Amino acid sequence: MFESNEVRASTSTKTALDVLDPVKELPLPPDFLWGVATASYQVEGGAEQDGKGPSIWDDFSHRNPSVTSGEDGDVACDHYNRLEEDLALLASYGVDVYRFSICWSRLIPLGGRNDPINEKGIAFYNNLIDGLLARGIRPAVTLYHWDLPLELQKRYGGMLNTAEFQADFEHYARLCFSRFGDRVTQWITFNEPYITALFGFHSGILAPGHSTKTGHDSTTEPWRVGHSQILAHAAAVQTYVTDFQPSQKGAISIVLNSDFYEPYDANSEADKEACQRRLEFYVGWFGDPIYLGADYPASMRKQLGSRLPQFSDAEKDLLKMTAPHNTFYGMNHYTSQFARARIDPPSEDDHTGNVEELTTNSEGVEIGPLSGVSWLRVTHRQFRKLLNWAWNRYQRPIYITENGCPCPGENSMTLDQAVDDQFRIRYFGLYIDAISQAINEDGVKVAGYYAWSFMDNFEWAAGYTIRFGITHVDFPTGTRTPKKSAAYLKETFERRRAAAANGKVKNGKL
């Protein structure tokens, strides 16, 4: 029998919900912060407005239409021109925090430390920050969310030139601190440096699109790019804590993304070791130098050898000096996987620690139910384990700076079906429960949760085919429609925090 897309979408969501755990609505501390997140290229549009210069993503999306389904961020959600509407929507959601990123080439069109500043770009972010504060919403500002000014990539290879990139990033960060820091109390230098390094300089599916297929060296470039981001981060932290933090009283750190890993064979010591090694290649790569002021993990040094850059004595001193000033841990997390140790030696361009990643274990058990995208399964139990792992290793209060999912079949749904996003609501509820358990049962310090994303947007290589938003966006018209998950997040955080504050908690439940 023929079924319409609407019927199939509805049935798919119901079936997916049936295999998800129930939400317990566990309590959270009264001062726990919640908010939503976006990134400049994904929502702003205004690609050539008011003096903005091109970024590597402006270039990449037009140069590689086959990668991005022929789509780009020229208009995206048109946030640049619909700012007042979006501020009103944020206020209606009752968020405490809005995490957004600044487009470097909107402030400095050519990007460099000796290049002109675009005051119209400064004005846009001033209006955004002032508009948030007028509505009682705190800005959490990311300096770099993947959109390097194109001229810097052309001028000296961007992040492949550590010294030049570090100097230009420090200058850009100083500009942001000086113009916006009197009102911003949470700064993030880089969003997901792991993704920038590997997807931009290994697989080439993200800007600037480097891979062996494009004539580049994927055995060394990712590690050089990671090195550059670590040192540029440290330079920006040093600048902030020396010249701005004493008067502005803000906090600064970085955002690291990661899956969590369970052993493919629970009885295999090799697979258990592979889980730890995979996390070291994923998180420790950046976390150990930044939070511990240490060298790269020994497992990375052992496998990568001379491909992994060395820190000079001066760079080691910089990392040791700035490590204590990274006062929070920014965590982006969506899903988890099984890890199986490979028997054969690693390939020359291996970046996993010679680990195979799988969604099913040796007993045929899946890691979790599938969401609306192939790489994301619902794995809230592993999320709790990752919170413990990061806390135990780095001892910093954790902010969940991104977390969310698309619903199964969402992009083919009618508007009425899409806004009734029960799968997303259940996902949010389970992951927030995991935070409560980590805090109240494990002693992990988690201070905030920023859902991804405020609205459906340009999802990089996936274009507009995947929807993560708690706000539906009709891209041809730009019309915004709140989804039910927006109301759920507002209500669940109010309820969970208020119950804890009023002592209305019994046996860890509301």
Catalytic-residue membership of 192: yes
Whether residue 431 is contained in a domain is answered as yes
Residue 263, beta-bridge partner list: 339
Whether residue 414 is contained in a domain is answered as yes
Output the domain CATH number for residue 285.
Answer: 3.20.20.80
Query: Residue 261 is encoded by which pair of tokens?
Result: 């890993």
Whether residue 506 is contained in a domain is answered as no
Q: Which domain holds residue 31?
A: 5-501
Whether residue 57 is contained in a domain is answered as yes
Choosing from 280, 402, 410, 459, the catalytic residue is 402
State the DSSP string of 458-489. --GGGTTS----SEEEETTTTEEEE-HHHHHH
Whether residue 507 is contained in a domain is answered as no
Confidence (pLDDT) at 13: 55
Confidence (pLDDT) at 6: 36
477 burial level (CB within 10 Å; 0-12, 13-18, 19+): exposed
Confidence (pLDDT) at 92: 98
For 273-287, what is each residue's pLDDT tens digit? Answer: 999 999 999 999 999
Whether residue 397 is contained in a domain is answered as yes
Instruction: Assess whether pLDDT exceeds 80 at residue 15.
Output: no
Instruction: Assess whether pLDDT exceeds 90 at residue 137.
Output: yes
Catalytic-residue membership of 402: yes
Among 142, 143, 140, 130, which Cα is nearest to 171's? Answer: 143
Whether residue 509 is contained in a domain is answered as no
For 215-269, what is each residue's pLDDT tens digit? Answer: 999 999 999 999 999 999 999 999 999 999 999 999 999 999 999 999 999 999 9
Work out how many domains the chain is built from and give that number. Answer: 1
> Does residue 463 come out as left (phi exceeding 0), alpha (psi in the -120 to 50 range) or beta?
left
Choosing from 192, 221, 315, 410, the catalytic residue is 192
> CA Rg, the chain, in Å?
22
Q: Is the CB of residue 116 less than 8 Å from the CB of residue 109?
A: yes
Whether residue 510 is contained in a domain is answered as no
For 38-52, what is each residue's pLDDT tens digit? Answer: 999 999 999 999 999
Count of positions (residues) in the chain: 510
